[in-house]
Structure 1
């Protein structure tokens, strides 16, 4: 009696081959490289801020309202503070808020999105209802109210509130992707083998969404930077230290534009624009790298 050959199961994606292929196209993607060229130097400045600009960015170091010179590259403020030192330290705070706020929002979004998408049923309905409630809340208005009445405002607290209000769209997107993966053969095989739910999500589903998750984090990072800059600009940022948004706030408060002190508000504005713009361009480039239909050979 001739045995009937078994139907081959759906092959598990070859992750090593996918990584090598992704790296090949990443090194040839102009948008991704352009974003990195802008973002990496700013990140290096932010990391090396204490070495490059000293310890206190608000120290009074020179003649007030001095234009850019060899001694003070970005000039000085109305009070004689070095704007370059404030800019470098402000970059550091901006990246911290982006990483903490975007990272927290990504973690919450992944936890809710993976759980809702994989479990389905009542769990999905409850988590989806929670997501919709947070999604319709006016996040910026909530942040304004909380920051206005909060006694102590710091970078960590600011990032915490940004992260707690920025995750809903990420959760919904991850939930949709999880729905499409949970019915794959390799996921069914792991489920039939008695593997726990969180292990299936961590070992089978999440790795096959790694590129999508990374792009989601980039967007959350950029959104956190913009929200933090908005809060800082209207005076509801950290109580101590300096940030790019707070630099814009001080420049507007002391009429830098009317006094012709362009060197006070242009660097922080350009810094915020460069960071968010570079992240957006990188995200478009990564979409072209990870999506075979968009790749340029």
Structure 2
């Protein structure tokens, strides 16, 4: 989220700018290596009958798109890119960031749906799941995000853009809430799933729902508030800056979904050859099954 209205404000935003720049540096220094490691580890989990990691990998790739674009914004702060071409490039990078955000929300819904089907409709899921359909779903989400990016790039009225983005941010809420609540109820009555598997499924659903509620909903409410009230006070600007920063922090949390794709702490670390060499572990169960 860029400071689109900064030029029309009648108060200074220096302290808020420092806060947002600090968040940007935290994201770059921690998020980039964390997502890269998680993508590598999840790539090792992809099998013909294990489609969940594919959604998580695409989620992390959408986070990676956002982080790479943030490098430009941090550089612009320090080097002062003011030429017309670079100002236009900033707008393009902002659109790409929001393209990544929309894709992230789509893959979060897919992860929750997949975990819900495992619990609530296990037989249907066992015989109907297919890697081809998973790939087609991922392609559809990326294409939808591209269409949104093209539409946003051609929107010149800020309130119209904010209304569209807030609406898209709000759409996943009923789905994520339904998948979480229904899966929780189904897990209490099922006996075909082990306790460890129940914890992993519920943990993944809780993490996805928690990420959405804590990081995305505050911005959604603030965006609707700005669209409806059109209030431009310093307090509102600060709240909006915090809400923007919360959304930007999602790439720091999404890699934790990798933990719920594994069977334990050792199984998590074994995905990395360096840990296997350090601790002297043999080939992992996942590697053996793949072979």
TM-score (normalised: structure 2): 0.29
Rg: which structure is higher? 1
TM-score (normalised: structure 1): 0.29
